[in-house]
């Protein structure tokens, strides 16, 4: 009889006392849970120790999520790893067990926004524990193998927003600016993330300039289309309506089924044209998009 694969959960935490217990309880049926605390000043460590004996506090935070994730991974002895953030929870751990029976190396996990939001996407968060698979990128980390994971099983994780983010609100921007600077001419995907972060911060001119660099070298259509949509919204905030329409038109050219982009074109179009765009958005299927926000 074949041995059932064992599954560990890895959680990186810092000042997550408000939410980490919810995350831990959602994966209580795992074979092991590993928590890597990166310098909490609250009682995160004490809460974690109530749920697992595998809590490490020896990692010094260096503005790199992939280094913290790989440090946590280095402690794991089980066959598979599910990566979970402190402000997330797993819907049904039995689905995790079913998925690893079907997968070769990774599983595409459905990520769902908390609070009834419409944002969903797929992410390889469940993967085989082997030296050849590891985390890369200091921020917006991902596995070193391409793709969102194998489309097997029905693993779902809901993600939220941690109050701990307010303790260092510029962390993501700081890491991205340094990463893009360090990457120099080889920067690509991090330009997208940096441009998007400028949009979140209301720094619209820096947003359009950064995403303008990105779309010149981008080779992933789904992300490129999303970049053009964000550029359009930033131009609109600056009152540059023609530029806004030109940018979102590029997103629609890349993917006419990008519902959010078509809807946005209707929103910023002249009244005599808007309804036609809304009519077109009704048939857009959202196939091959980066994020589903509709």
Can you give the pLDDT of all 294 residues of the chain as single tens digits?
578 999 999 999 999 999 999 999 999 999 999 999 999 999 999 999 999 999 999 999 999 999 999 999 999 999 999 999 999 999 999 999 999 999 999 999 999 999 876 789 999 999 999 999 999 999 999 999 988 999 999 999 999 999 999 999 999 999 999 999 999 989 999 999 999 999 999 999 999 999 999 999 999 999 999 999 999 999 999 999 999 999 999 999 999 999 999 999 999 999 999 999 999 999 999 999 999 888
Question: Are both 37 and 72 inside the same structural domain?
Answer: yes
Question: Are both 156 and 21 inside the same structural domain?
Answer: yes
Instruction: Give the structural domain span for 101.
Output: 7-165
Residue 250 is assigned to a structural domain of this protein: yes
Question: Are both 128 and 194 inside the same structural domain?
Answer: no
Question: Are both 175 and 241 inside the same structural domain?
Answer: yes
Residue 292 is assigned to a structural domain of this protein: no
Question: Are both 110 and 204 inside the same structural domain?
Answer: no
Question: Are both 17 and 127 inside the same structural domain?
Answer: yes
Question: Are both 32 and 159 inside the same structural domain?
Answer: yes
C-alpha 80/C-alpha 268 separation (Å) is: 47
Helix 221-237, helix 241-254: angle, nearest 10: 170
With beta carbons less than 8 A apart as the criterion, state whether 22 and 32 touch. no
Which of 165, 184, 200 is the endpoint of a domain?
165
Total domains in the chain come to: 2
Residue 229 is assigned to a structural domain of this protein: yes
Question: Are both 152 and 181 inside the same structural domain?
Answer: no
Instruction: Assign residue 261 the CATH number of its domain.
Output: 1.25.40.10
Which of 165, 182, 214 is the endpoint of a domain?
165
Residue 261 is assigned to a structural domain of this protein: yes
């Amino acid at each position: 009889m074949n041995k059932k694969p064992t599954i560990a959960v890895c959680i990186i935490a810092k000042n997550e006392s408000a939410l980490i217990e919810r995350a831990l309880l959602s994966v209580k049926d795992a074979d092991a849970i590993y928590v890597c605390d990166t310098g909490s000043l609250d009682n995160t460590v004490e809460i974690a120790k109530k749920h697992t004996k595998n809590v490490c506090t020896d990692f010094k935070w260096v503005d790199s999520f992939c280094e913290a994730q790989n440090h946590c991974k280095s402690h794991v002895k089980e066959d598979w790893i599910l990566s979970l953030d402190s402000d997330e929870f797993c819907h049904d751990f039995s689905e995790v067990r079913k998925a690893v029976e079907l997968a070769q190396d990774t599983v595409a996990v459905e990520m769902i926004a908390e609070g009834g939001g419409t944002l969903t996407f797929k992410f390889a968060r469940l993967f085989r524990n082997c030296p050849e698979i590891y985390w890369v990128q200091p921020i917006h980390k991902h596995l070193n193998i391409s793709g969102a994971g194998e489309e097997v099983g029905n693993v779902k994780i809901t993600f939220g927003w941690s109050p701990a983010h307010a303790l260092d609100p510029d962390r993501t921007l700081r890491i991205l600016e340094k990463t893009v600077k360090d990457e120099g001419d080889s920067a690509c995907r991090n330009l997208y993330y940096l441009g998007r972060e400028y949009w979140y911060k209301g720094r619209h001119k820096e947003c359009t300039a950064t995403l303008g660099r990105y779309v010149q070298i981008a080779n992933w259509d789904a992300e490129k289309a999303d970049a053009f949509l964000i550029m359009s919204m930033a131009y609109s905030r600056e009152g540059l309506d023609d530029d806004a329409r030109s940018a979102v038109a590029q997103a629609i050219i890349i993917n006419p089924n990008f519902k959010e982009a078509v809807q946005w074109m209707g929103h910023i179009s002249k009244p005599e044209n808007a309804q036609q765009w809304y009519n077109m958005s009704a048939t857009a299927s959202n196939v091959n998009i980066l994020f589903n926000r509709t």
